[in-house]
């Protein structure tokens, strides 16, 4: 149980540093690149595989994508979705979040920007 949510999830991120604002971290106290660490991520791979199968059968509605970029629920290949989740988790490690509507919009825009840059954004969202 994390974030006061008692249910499975695909990825959890545990930032090592507080962000000044989304995408902006404080300068490290010890400036040794070999020691840089953004934090940890945990991925529940069996859950991701199950969700891909469930989502493929689910009727997706454009306004029903709270918590992840809508692009992710349109990806049914578990390997590709895992790559997308790593982008999502990394954004959490650098201060992005989707708790409230404004933060959600900012995070999804950044997520979609990165997914497009690395050619993981489904063509209908690009």
pLDDT tens per residue across all 126 residues of the chain:
456 778 889 999 999 989 999 999 988 888 888 888 999 999 999 999 999 999 888 766 655 445 567 788 888 999 999 999 999 999 999 999 988 889 999 999 999 999 999 999 876 555
CA–CA dist 126, 122 (Å, integer):
6
**How far, in Å, CA of 93 to CA of 71, rounded?**
20
- Tell me how far apart the alpha carbons of residues 125 and 68 are, in angstroms, rounded to a whole number: 14
Tokens encoding 123: 């063509």
Residue of 4, 7, 18 lying closest to 97 (CA atoms): 18
Cα-based angle 104, 53, 66 (whole degrees, multiple of 5): 10
Residue recorded with tokens 């063509």: 123
Predicted local distance difference test score (pLDDT) of residue 21: 95
Instruction: Report d(CA 112, CA 126) in Å as an integer.
Output: 8
Q: What is the pTM of this model?
A: 0.84
| Per-residue pLDDT, 27 | 85
Three-state secondary-structure class, residue 15: strand
Q: What pairing do the DSSP bridges indicate for beta strands 39-43 and 24-25?
A: unpaired
């Amino acid at each position: 149980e994390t974030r006061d949510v008692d249910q499975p999830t695909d990825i959890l991120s545990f930032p090592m540093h507080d962000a000044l604002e989304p995408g902006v971290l404080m300068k490290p106290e010890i400036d040794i690149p070999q020691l840089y660490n953004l934090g940890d991520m945990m991925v529940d791979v069996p859950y991701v595989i199950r969700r891909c199968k469930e989502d493929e059968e689910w009727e997706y509605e454009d306004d029903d994508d709270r918590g992840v970029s809508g692009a992710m629920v349109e990806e049914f290949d578990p390997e590709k979705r895992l790559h997308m989740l790593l982008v999502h988790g990394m954004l959490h490690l650098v201060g992005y979040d989707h708790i409230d509507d404004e933060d959600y919009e900012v995070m999804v825009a950044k997520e979609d920007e990165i997914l497009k840059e690395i050619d993981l954004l489904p063509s209908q969202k690009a």
